[in-house]
Structure 1
Amino acid sequence: MFKNRGDIVYKCTVRLLEDTEILECEFHPSYKGKFLLEHVCQQLNLTESDYFGLRYVDGNGQRHWLHLAKLILKQVKDATPILFSFRVKFYPPNPLLLKEDATRFQIYLQLKRDLLHGRLYCTSNEAAMLGALIIQVELGDYDPNIHVGNYVTEMKLLLRQTDVIEARIQEIHREPVEGTPGGTGGVRGMSAQEAERSFLKIACQLDTYGVDPHPVKDHRSNQLYLGINHSGILTFQGSRKTHHFKWNEVAKINFEGRMFIVHLNYPEKKHTVGFKCPSGAACRHVWCCAIEQMLFFTLPSASDACVYTGGGLFSWGTKFKYFGRTEREILERDGLLPPRDHPEEGSSSGGKRKANSVPATPSTPMTSDFGYSSLPRSTHSAPLGDNICGSLSASGSACNGGCLLSGPAVDIALAGDPLRALPEEHSAKRGTTPVPGGDHEPGEYNFRESFEHSSSESALTTHTTEPRPPDDWSRPSSVEHTPHALTTLHNMPPAPRRFNLLRTFVPSFLFVCLSLVLTTILLFETDVAPSLKKKQEMVTLQYHYYAPLKEYLKRKVVELF
């Protein structure tokens, strides 16, 4: 097979949101990710494709979203076979505002999957209601001649599906809808579409809606799970939501090695919080997810926005280019938001722009207004958003196209002992389903189970079996983040950036040595600078050092081969 020929066709498998449904697709080496996603959406009759993405797992078990503007083959070049998972990438804040019923159904399937795998956490009452709504969508109204015995057991609905919850689901399924004769708050009498919309309405109000957990550790080596959705960045410890950094509080996001860093801006002071990821690749994946979610839900328009991280002395840094429409553009296109009277500065120029600031207005009507302040650009910094002067005008700052943000310097406060690397939490073995562990308290929600399960989602399986989990569910306490809470989290003084001697000296030393060796070989093996070679010092160097070393190396090479 010749890679330069244009008739090469590669085959891949795409798993849909129902594990039993797959698509076999083909693509040429010149095709980009956008082609494959559009092909899958066409097969599903989806026109609102911007909310979806294709996820894959590389050879090291690291998950990635398929970049739509890059070649497919370059992103999955080491994968055999090539497997993708069709998933919801951007969970809309209010899925009931979606224009197409087909899009809402796919969101429903994704949330149903999240509920089964433990990512969509809720109380036992909410779990029973959501389970009953799923039964109503798939089985219809309760019929005593058909639905006999414990018919809910045959359907896997929840990660922790106990006999108590199953009995409550059946009870809600039998009861009529509230407002009808004899209605007691059940689901009987709902159409499939009404049950689906009720499911979405309940699910989108939960704390873990749209959260895909990433394992991290804080400065005290406490195990946390970090989630990113339309509202901001959230952290969970065990069954508790410990912090919620809203997008209007986030001034900048960057990463250094395995450290994911969030710069926060409050009226009183500025804070910086760091989380250590299991690996550098995992940290970059978290950063990319955060940048994409941030830009999608806050930018008025994409306009080829790019986010850059500044590299160090001997590093190239990272560039992330946002591709596709933002949520505000989608809502304006569908007539759910009034069009803007005046386009943003630079939007009509047609050129690419760096994302140097954050828009001052949100894209979704149900969220509050955003008021962003600026922070300086620093090493590995990724100022978020589009270069929109309106976001800075409130603070009296002037901005021209391409300007950098200005403001007081911010130290990276990563107090405490160095964090230990998090061991691999998941396996990408095909055809396996992780078993819920017993290392947590009864009734405690643990993101580790859902992370392990979703990390192997590119495995091509059609059936999954899990043992019955413990009996109890309990809702995590929602602790909204405040400046005081963050101060207690980072109560040690900021640590200044230390100069890394090895990182600076060793490459410089190797470069100088290599240059001297190449210059010496060029001088003694060619006719360059004959007058210089006749000098006494050069003659001594050649016959006493260069020639013996040359003969020694030649002899060793001959002995080796």
Structure 2
Amino acid sequence: MPDILLCRLELLDETDITLDLSKKAFGHQLLEEAFRYVSVREKDYFGLRFENEKGLKEWLDALKPIKKQLRDAAHSFKFLVKFYPSKPSDLQDEATRYLFCLQLRKDLINGRLPCSVDTATLLASLAVQSEFGEYDPLEHDDGYLESFSMLDNEPPEFVERVAKLHATHGKMVPTEADYMFIEECSKLSFYGIHFYNTMLDKKESKGKLGVSHEGISVFEGDLPHLHLKIIHQWFKVTEVFFHRKKLGLTVAVDEKTCTGSSSETFHFRFERESLCKIVWKSIVEHHTFFRRHKPDELPKDSLFNRTMSHRYSGRTQKQVIDDAFLPDGTKKPEAEFARTSSLTRQHFRVAAPRYTSASSLHARAKLAKDVSPVPSPSKLRSPASMCSLGAGNGRALSNGSGSPAYTPSPSSDFEGRASLSAVVL
């Protein structure tokens, strides 16, 4: 089949699916079919990440042909969370929060989200509550958590502590457990941060640049022992540009106006020019998603279309939240989805495939025979009233308000040049 492009997707529950596309397909076609498969409405929080021919991980661009992005690389993608909101209440649908829990569990296991043992115990007990429901001593014997994993190196008696805390959660339904799980994770210092290795100064000391809903963070050291030097919050960042391996940030010094009239520029160096471009694109997309009312549009006849430029093509967080409600303020009905247990390898699966004859895509997946029904959600209780275990690691990178800002920056024009790529934020 010379005109067919086979794309393998690994979903958050470790399901593998294969989608057949035309070799001329664009990124948005694959993204839409992935979103349709997992039946998620708040799709803009997620993306497809792949490893390019240089071994670097980057996100699939919706506006470019797939073949031009992967080149000689294998057509394998991972469906992952791309934008982490500041708090779980920003996520309107139960299905979205469920997928976020799967992602955060991966972050905890692979060490991207380090935490104390007490916090890990609480998080593990909430994950168990979400999957097993109310603790039943007759059904949940001593070995019911033998295959459960939450940390890379679990301390002694960890599983026993998790089981004891699970028994205290009572009749908490899965949607409540998911909400609490995300809320506790959002308090951790490295929650939602995408890390990139960089050189921090002229002495070329190694560090990491972090991009998140809060802004751009600069760290010394390496995970899990990172030291925060500074965080440039989005409302202070006025311009980001790169030239070859060097990335530059222009930050407003006047905190009252943040107009850029008084500003300072910071420079970072990366091992490869391609990595520098990936970081630049991540900054542009995060700023647009969390800071803007709507994405910018490049004029079709713009001179910049013929040089280096990039723009975020999805909905902003404000648009995602607004689209979850009707004009009268009533929340739109949520799409049905099925919860499955990662412990028993029952994979997440929509009730029925919704591929029409008009589509050139066909999905093939490993399906679970039995899928447990979703318990009816109850009114969310205050998370503080549901647990008494220590809070664990406090939030170290907080902007004080706890919520992203949506006010557009004074300028939204993208500036591209043949040797220098920049965007005025």
TM-score normalised according to structure 2 size: 0.72
CA deviation vs aligned residue, 1:381-436 (integer Å, no higher than 9, x gap): 52334xxxxxxxxxxxxxxxxxxxxxxxxxxxxxxxxxxxxxxxxxxxxxxxxxxx
Task: Look up the SS of the partner of 1:263 in the other structure.
Answer: strand
Counterpart of 2:283 in structure 1 is: 290
* C-alpha distance in structure 2 between counterparts of 1:121 and 1:171, whole Å: 22
- The alpha-carbon distance between structure 1 residues 55 and 367, as it changes in their structure 2 partners (threshold 3 A), is closer
Counterpart of 2:320 in structure 1 is: 330
Task: Look up the SS of the partner of 1:382 in the other structure.
Answer: strand
Counterpart of 2:170 in structure 1 is: 188
- 2:188 matches 1:222: no
Which of 6, 10, 14 is residue 5 of structure 2 equivalent to? 10
**Displacement after TM superposition at 1:267 (Å):** 1.2
Residue pair 1:46, 1:103 contacting (<8 A) in 2 also: yes
**Displacement after TM superposition at 1:154 (Å):** 2.4
- 2:241 matches 1:254: yes
Counterpart of 1:135 in structure 2 is: 128
Residue pair 2:220, 2:229 contacting (<8 A) in 1 also: yes
* C-alpha distance in structure 1 between counterparts of 2:294 and 2:231, whole Å: 25
- The alpha-carbon distance between structure 1 residues 124 and 338, as it changes in their structure 2 partners (threshold 3 A), is farther
- 2:299 matches 1:300: no
Q: Which residue identity does 2:7 align to in structure 1?
A: C
Task: Look up the SS of the partner of 2:251 in the other structure.
Answer: strand
* CA-atom RMSD in angstroms: 3.1
* C-alpha distance in structure 1 between counterparts of 2:120 and 2:327, whole Å: 33
Which of 25, 39, 45 is residue 31 of structure 1 equivalent to? 25
- 2:104 matches 1:111: yes
Task: Look up the SS of the partner of 2:194 in the other structure.
Answer: coil
- 2:253 matches 1:266: yes
**Displacement after TM superposition at 1:123 (Å):** 2.5
Counterpart of 2:308 in structure 1 is: 318
**Displacement after TM superposition at 1:369 (Å):** 7.5
* C-alpha distance in structure 2 between counterparts of 1:215 and 1:171, whole Å: 40
Q: Which residue identity does 2:193 align to in structure 1?
A: V
**Displacement after TM superposition at 1:280 (Å):** 0.8
* C-alpha distance in structure 2 between counterparts of 1:292 and 1:158, whole Å: 31
- 2:116 matches 1:123: yes
- Equivalence map 1:431-510=2 (5 Å): none
* C-alpha distance in structure 2 between counterparts of 1:66 and 1:369, whole Å: 25
Which of 163, 169, 188 is residue 156 of structure 2 equivalent to? 163
* C-alpha distance in structure 1 between counterparts of 2:163 and 2:229, whole Å: 34
* C-alpha distance in structure 2 between counterparts of 1:58 and 1:37, whole Å: 17
- The alpha-carbon distance between structure 1 residues 276 and 365, as it changes in their structure 2 partners (threshold 3 A), is closer
- The alpha-carbon distance between structure 1 residues 317 and 256, as it changes in their structure 2 partners (threshold 3 A), is farther
**Displacement after TM superposition at 1:209 (Å):** 1.6
- Equivalence map 1:331-346=2 (5 Å): 331-335=321-325
Q: Which residue identity does 1:319 align to in structure 2?
A: S
- The alpha-carbon distance between structure 1 residues 332 and 146, as it changes in their structure 2 partners (threshold 3 A), is closer
* C-alpha distance in structure 2 between counterparts of 1:226 and 1:375, whole Å: 24
Q: Which residue identity does 1:16 align to in structure 2?
A: L
* C-alpha distance in structure 2 between counterparts of 1:338 and 1:93, whole Å: 26
- 2:92 matches 1:99: yes
- The alpha-carbon distance between structure 1 residues 107 and 369, as it changes in their structure 2 partners (threshold 3 A), is closer
Which of 213, 216, 226 is residue 233 of structure 1 equivalent to? 216
Counterpart of 2:46 in structure 1 is: 52
Gaps in structure 1 of 5+ consecutive residues? 3-7, 177-186, 340-363, 386-561
Q: How many residues align?
A: 337
**Displacement after TM superposition at 1:38 (Å):** 0.8
The structure whose residues are more often helix, as a share, is 1
For the pair shown, which has the larger CA radius of gyration, 1 or 2?
1
**Displacement after TM superposition at 1:26 (Å):** 0.6
Counterpart of 1:366 in structure 2 is: 403
Counterpart of 1:519 in structure 2 is: none
Counterpart of 1:520 in structure 2 is: none
The structure whose residues are more often strand, as a share, is 2
CA deviation vs aligned residue, 1:489-542 (integer Å, no higher than 9, x gap): xxxxxxxxxxxxxxxxxxxxxxxxxxxxxxxxxxxxxxxxxxxxxxxxxxxxxx
Counterpart of 1:492 in structure 2 is: none
TM-score normalised according to structure 1 size: 0.55
Task: Look up the SS of the partner of 1:241 in the other structure.
Answer: strand
- Write out the 4+ residue segments of structure 1 that deviate beyond 6 Å after TM superposition: 336-339, 373-379
Residue pair 1:252, 1:375 contacting (<8 A) in 2 also: no
- 2:384 matches 1:384: no
Q: Which residue identity does 1:243 align to in structure 2?
A: I
Q: Which structure carries more relative contact order (alpha carbon 8 Å, separation 6+)?
A: 2
Residue pair 1:93, 1:204 contacting (<8 A) in 2 also: yes
Gaps in structure 2 of 5+ consecutive residues? 256-261, 330-400
Residue pair 2:126, 2:181 contacting (<8 A) in 1 also: yes
Task: Look up the SS of the partner of 1:264 in the other structure.
Answer: strand
Task: Look up the SS of the partner of 2:63 in the other structure.
Answer: coil
Counterpart of 1:213 in structure 2 is: 195
Counterpart of 1:276 in structure 2 is: 269
Moved more, 139-148 or 48-57: 139-148
- Equivalence map 1:410-429=2 (5 Å): none
**Displacement after TM superposition at 1:190 (Å):** 1.5
- The alpha-carbon distance between structure 1 residues 212 and 251, as it changes in their structure 2 partners (threshold 3 A), is same
Residue pair 1:95, 1:107 contacting (<8 A) in 2 also: no
